[in-house]
Amino acid sequence: MNAAPDIIDEMMFNEELSRSRFAITPQRLSALKDFSTFLSLFINLVLIAFIERVDHYRDVYEPELI
């Protein structure tokens, strides 16, 4: 019985979400997840394709301001 007010609040919140301008449906959430996965894959492939290996750890670091 103590959980009843919380359940009512959640039901009211879900009703407001269903009437919002931009409803978040499971299909849209899945599409957003897929888009973010493909975007991260694209970024990683670009980084791998254009990487330039430089061994700076052997050089002594001197700031340009000195």
pLDDT at position 36 is 97
Top-confidence residue, 8 or 42: 42
Distances (CA, A) of 55 to 45, 48, 59: 22, 17, 8
Averaged pLDDT for residues 1-28 = 81
User: SS3 of 17, please?
Assistant: helix
17: pLDDT strictly greater than 90:
no
pLDDT tens, position by position, 24-66: 788 988 999 999 999 999 999 998 888 877 666 766 666 677 5
